[in-house]
Amino acid sequence: QGINYVSRVYPNAEFYTCAIDRKLNKEGYILPGLGDAGDRAFGSPY
């Protein structure tokens, strides 16, 4: 879902990835369960 959205907004974007998770939940979090990427990146408690 996320890659499809970004591809529509930025049609010339290139993606390099090792894995793609299945979907996003209604809040936009990656499933099956990365959690809040911003909290993980910046050390916020979660």
Residue-wise pLDDT for 1-45, tens only, equals: 788 899 999 999 998 988 788 888 888 777 777 667 777 788 876
Structural domain containing residue 15: 2-42
Distance CA 44, CA 20 (A): 24
Q: How many domains does the chain have?
A: 1
> What residues contact 13, with CB distance under 8 A and at least 6 apart?
6, 7
Q: What pLDDT, on a 0 to 100 scale, did the predictor assign at position 42?
A: 86
What is the token pair recorded at 41? 């990146």
